Each structure stands twice: as structure tokens, then as C-alpha cells.
Amino acid sequence: LLVVRELTGGIYFGEKTRTATSASDVCSYTTQEIERIARTAFGAARAKVTSVDKANVLETSRLWREVVSELHSREFPHIQLEHVLVDNAAMQLVSAPRHFDTILTENMFGDILSDEAAMLTGSIGMLPSASLSGDGPGMFEPVHGSAPDIAGQGIANPLAMFLSAAMMLRHGLGLESEAAAVESAVEGALAEGLRTHDLGGAVGTAQATRAVLDHLE
């Protein structure tokens, strides 16, 4: 399951106003912004893209749906496309996560849905992420950040870092077999019973790292 989230537009970056009794946040998207992120999602999908919006209410979502549909028919007709309203998508992530391949969505919806999707793995310590552009490999990091509350205790889960490295190899550097090798090493360690503290086990950071490296060919 891959969530492709637009990161530079939408309500987070729109004009903001505030008075003593009212406030507003503008949600704005252009055709170019939508095409850019949609092309990334179609390029990364195995077989299907689920475009998530709120087109029954929001004008930006109606534009989003139109632009994604047009790009799909023009450049990616071999990839299945479906449009799902964001509230329905949130429900299906819990009830039927196997329904999804690649989720494409705007900034705020992606912020929420990616955290929801993270917990399908059992811990946010398992989730890798990438911030990509057209100008370079991108930035790859665990979703959870630096976790200063557990710094120096040797209990952090290193698997999200390994999987972020795999994303860097695949999406940043085009090294598919190397990425698959790192992912296979993580899967092998988990299959042998590796469980860090956040997964209900007692294995520390160093031991978990060694377990993965021992499976890396």
C-alpha cells in the first residue's frame, strides 16, 4: 500500500486570515500541481490508483478529479483508476486495506490517511516515507522523525529506516533489485520473530539492526 500525497499546495499553504471572531484557510490547487502528483502516482502504481477527494462538496476536489481522469486517459490507460470520497477511503482503509494499491490524494487528506495507514502495520515505527521532486532523488526518512523521547535508550525500531533506504534505492536511484534485497531482509528478520518494543517485544535497536543485516545478501 502506497500513499502518494501532494506536499506543496492545498489548505496548508493557502491564504490565511484571523480576527477575534473568525478565521479562514484557503484551499487552492492548479492543474499543473495536480498533474505533477498524479503522474507520480500512476508511475509508481502496480495496477491501480485510487484517487481520494471530496468532490461532492469541494470545488478543488472537482478540479482534482477532472485533471486526474484526463491524465489517466491520455497517458496511463493501462492503470486502473477509481475515485473514492475521503470519508469512504478512511473507512475502507480499516475494513478492507487489501482493496488499495496506490492512493493518490491532496495535502491534508494525505496527511490524515497516511497516519491511519501507518497503524495497519502495527506501529508507526515500521513506516518509511519519501519527499520527491522532479529535480533529484528526493528525501527519504521514517515517518516518525527523531523520537527524542526515547533517544539514547536503545529501544527505537530501526525497520522504518531500513525501509526508507529501500525507497531511496527504488524511487530515488532506480535500483530495484537492491531495494528488494533490503525489503526481503526486513521481512526475513520479522519472519524469524524479530519484535522491537513498539511491536510488543524486547529486542533493542542494535540487535534489530544486526538481525536485518544478517539477512541482507
Q: What is the pLDDT of residues 166-189, one digit of tens each?
A: 999 998 899 999 999 999 999 999
Walking along the chain (217 residues) 10 residues at a time, the average pLDDT comes out as 95 97 98 96 95 98 98 97 98 96 97 88 87 83 84 93 95 93 97 94 96 93
Q: Output the pLDDT for position 137.
A: 84
In single-letter form, the type of residue at position 215 comes to: H
Dig out the grid coordinates for 76 from the structure: 496511463
| DSSP-derived 3-state class of residue 65 | helix
Task: Give the integer Cα–Cα distance in Å for 144 and 160.
Answer: 9
Spatial separation of the C-alpha atoms in residues 2 and 9, rounded to whole Å:
20
pLDDT score at 98: 94
CB 129 within 8 A of CB 157: no
For the chain, give the number of residues: 217
Residues 6+ apart with CB under 8 A from 6: 29, 33, 34, 37, 105, 106, 107, 110
Residue 30's beta-bridge partner residues?
Answer: none
Model pLDDT, residue 33: 96
- Helix locations, 16-58, DSSP H: 31-44
Orientation angle between helical segments 31-44 and 59-75, nearest 10 degrees: 50
List, by residue number, the catalytic residues. 12, 54, 87, 111, 115
The pLDDT score that the predictor gives to residue 211 is: 97
Q: How far apart are CA 35 and CA 56, in angstroms?
A: 21
